[in-house]
Amino acid sequence: MGTPHNEAPQGAFAKTVLMPGDPLRAKFIAQTFLQGAKLVNDVRGIQGWTGTYQGVPVSVMASGMGMPSIGIYSHELFHTYDVDNIIRVGSAGAISPKLELRDVILAQGACTDSNYAHQYGLPGTFAPIADFTLLETAVAVARRMGVEPPVGNVLSSDVFYNQAGNTLDWGRMGVLAIEMETAALYCNAAEAGKRALTICTVSDSLVTGEELPPAARQTTFTGMMEIALGVAVQMAGRRA
């Protein structure tokens, strides 16, 4: 049984799915890191792959751009394909002067200008946060790799070209970076009773104006990919 957006059969996805935005990044992760990687979904070009990493089944599937898109794909993975863990591996724009290009950050929480959580009918403002087990595992994996990742808030925005020009205001509240997916992913995980975490690499800085070219974003952000894969291995060990 598939969905309108996913042709994979039941059992095609591993319990942990890495979720980059870009289908080409999904393909790169699968073909670079996974053994025996097989394409299990290609509806609308949103590639989903499953293989093994260090003997552990792992899947990787693109989310597309923005909260409506990741909202669809993560919902279907959690509810239709019984995925337990989704780890977003994406790019983000620094809005903190403490960050540099290629820094790997872990999103403990997600501020947002989106109305995504309105659907739950809650009598207040829901605060989307990462699963703590995934978060502490990612910190431990990163440290074993010699990386001390910044951990904190990101801003998940519905707007890429912000006409108000006030994005850096969030940085004054300690928010590390801006991206477009995490809040919806964390909401979906909370609603489904599943786990989610975002690991992002800084691709550009709104503070300094520096940026990396698109090709580098697809294929050179291997640090965050290796951290996410390490987390997948550790989570498989926990289930055992």
Residue 174 sits in a domain whose CATH number is 3.40.50.1580
Domain of residue 75 covers 16-239
Residue 138, pLDDT > 60, answer yes
What pLDDT, on a 0 to 100 scale, did the predictor assign at position 7? 62
Confidence of residue 128 (pLDDT cuts 50, 70, 90): very high
Q: Is residue 4 a part of any domain in this protein?
A: no
Q: Is residue 7 a part of any domain in this protein?
A: no
Distance CA 175, CA 172 (A): 7
Distance CA 103, CA 202 (A): 5
Confidence of residue 41 (pLDDT cuts 50, 70, 90): confident
Percent of the chain with pLDDT over 70: 93
What pLDDT, on a 0 to 100 scale, did the predictor assign at position 8? 65
Residue 6, pLDDT > 80, answer no
The one catalytic residue in 22, 84, 131, 204 is 204
Nearest partner of 157 among 145, 146, 170, judged by Cα: 170
Q: Is residue 10 a part of any domain in this protein?
A: no
Q: Is residue 89 a part of any domain in this protein?
A: yes
Residue 230, pLDDT > 50, answer yes
Residue 201, pLDDT > 60, answer yes
Mean pLDDT of 114-132: 95
The DSSP call for residue 230 is H
Residue 175, pLDDT > 50, answer yes
Q: Is residue 93 a part of any domain in this protein?
A: yes
The average confidence (pLDDT) of the chain is 91
Residue 82 catalytic?
no
Q: How many other C-beta atoms lie within 10 A of the C-beta of residue 11?
A: 10
Confidence of residue 43 (pLDDT cuts 50, 70, 90): low
Confidence of residue 95 (pLDDT cuts 50, 70, 90): very high
Number of domains in the chain: 1
Q: Is residue 148 a part of any domain in this protein?
A: yes
110-141 residues labelled b (16+ CB within 10 A) or e (exposed): bbbebebbeeeeeeeebebbbbeebbebbbeb
Mean pLDDT of 1-16: 76
Distance CA 67, CA 140 (A): 28
Q: Is residue 47 a part of any domain in this protein?
A: yes
β-pair partners for 89: 199
Mean pLDDT of 88-110: 96
